[in-house]
Amino acid sequence: MINLDVEDRKQLITLLKDIPELATDRSRLQILELAGLKQLTPMIDLSGASFVAINEIVSYLSQYGRLTYDHEVLGLFLNTLKGLVGVQQQEFLDGLLTKYDMMTPIAALPDIDRWKGGETTADVLEKIIGENTLRPIAFLQRGLEVARSVAYIAVQSGYERWSGTGFLVSENLLLTNNHVLPSSDLLLNSVFRFNYEDNFRGQAQPSQEYHVKPSGLLHTNKELDYTLVQLDGEPGQKWGWLPLLSRNIKRRERVNIIQHPAGRPKEISFQNNFVEYVGGNVVQYVTSTLNGSSGSPVFNDGWEVVALHHAGGNIPEPTTQRRYFRNEGILVERILADLPSEIRKLVNLAAN
């Protein structure tokens, strides 16, 4: 149960009532479902004017309490909404999440425009309908195998906290985004949690946490938005790792993304996810991600890592500068080319 201060509640309602994505009954339902709160929606009156409906949602979620040990339901809702508001509003929501210990805030994304590109929902659906999605059943087995190497990352800097995703590329080297782990001073209080996931009945599975290796390796690049960090205890011996090799990826191929969206237990977006552009340092695709998915591995249909997911929105194609509603990952080959030779040798050795 969350008892918001009068002023905090007033500011929160004022912020939420002006979010276009919460303007209608249907869109409010979709946001709650996106936050993983579908089972609660029958108990909430989502109808009426924005001010009234938002009050109802906040009141119910505040009183409901925790969905899991780590997650207040109001926290899941607010974490999801961070992707729909500006930087100052994100900071306010982060403050509430931390002040009332609702959950770890997701990492702030790089500065991008709102999601309103030239491709409509109808455009996307037209490309999906009629496609062959048949795969051998072993496809799922392999997906579960590679998922073991994907970790939830919790970062703390003073009173600020945020989360993201990362994955092992050797026994003890983990790759994530620069905007999740931008500097060495954040490493001491960072936690890397493996097997943070639920079973088919929604029951939490035993997880294991690791920390960085004291005086271990750290290499980061803000432009390519990646960070490579060395963990203590060689977690790859238990959880495995994902070979980091240059892979060809083409327009119209599919990608699959294993992630911790909005700081939730591990989830997957796969199959109806199409590559729309490859060029410059990036691959752009139509898929389902949320804030908190930053640092996730982008796989091809052979479960090979082709990119590091880092952003989405109304983003430009590097070569044409035309903007589209898409997600984006940094190509593995660009990251490998940027690594210092001694680090690249370690990564290549683990991949072979």
Tens digits of residue pLDDT in 263-294: 889 999 876 788 999 998 999 998 766 666 88
CA 78 to chain centre: 15
Residues 116 and 58 in one domain: no
Contact status, residue 192 vs residue 151, Cβ threshold 8 Å: yes
239-260 confidence digits (pLDDT tens): 999 999 999 999 988 899 999 9
Torsion of CA 128, 133, 139, 144, to 10 degrees: 40
CA 236 to chain centre: 22
DSSP for 101-152, please give it: T--PPBPPPPS---S--S--HHHHHHHHTT------THHHHHHHHHHTTEEE
Structure tokens at 201: 């009945």
Work out whether the CA dihedral 95, 98, 100, 105 comes out positive or negative: positive
* Residue that finishes a domain, picked among 59, 80, 99: 99
* Residue that finishes a domain, picked among 74, 99, 124: 99
Of the chain, the percentage scoring pLDDT greater than 90 comes to 48
Mean of the per-residue pLDDT values of the chain = 86
Q: Which residue would you say has higher pLDDT here, 77 or 339? A: 339
201-248 confidence digits (pLDDT tens): 889 999 999 999 999 999 999 999 999 999 999 999 999 999 999 999
* Residue that finishes a domain, picked among 99, 124, 154: 99
Residues 35 and 133 in one domain: no
Round to whole Å and give the CA distance between 111 and 89.
Answer: 13
Residues 42 and 186 in one domain: no
Q: What is the pLDDT of residue 222?
A: 95
Q: Please indicate, yes or no, whether the overall pTM of this predicted structure exceeds 0.85.
A: no
Q: What is the pLDDT of residue 289?
A: 65
Domain that holds residue 61: 6-99
Q: CB atoms < 10 A from the CB of 133, how many?
A: 9
1 found inside a domain? no
Residues 43 and 139 in one domain: no
Residues 45 and 177 in one domain: no
Residues 210 and 299 in one domain: yes
Total tally of structural domains belonging to the chain: 2
Residues 34 and 127 in one domain: no
Round to whole Å and give the CA distance between 170 and 236.
Answer: 6
Structure tokens at 341: 């030779």
Round to whole Å and give the CA distance between 268 and 21.
Answer: 24
In this structure, what CATH number is given to the domain that contains residue 185? 2.40.10.120
Residues 212 and 146 in one domain: yes
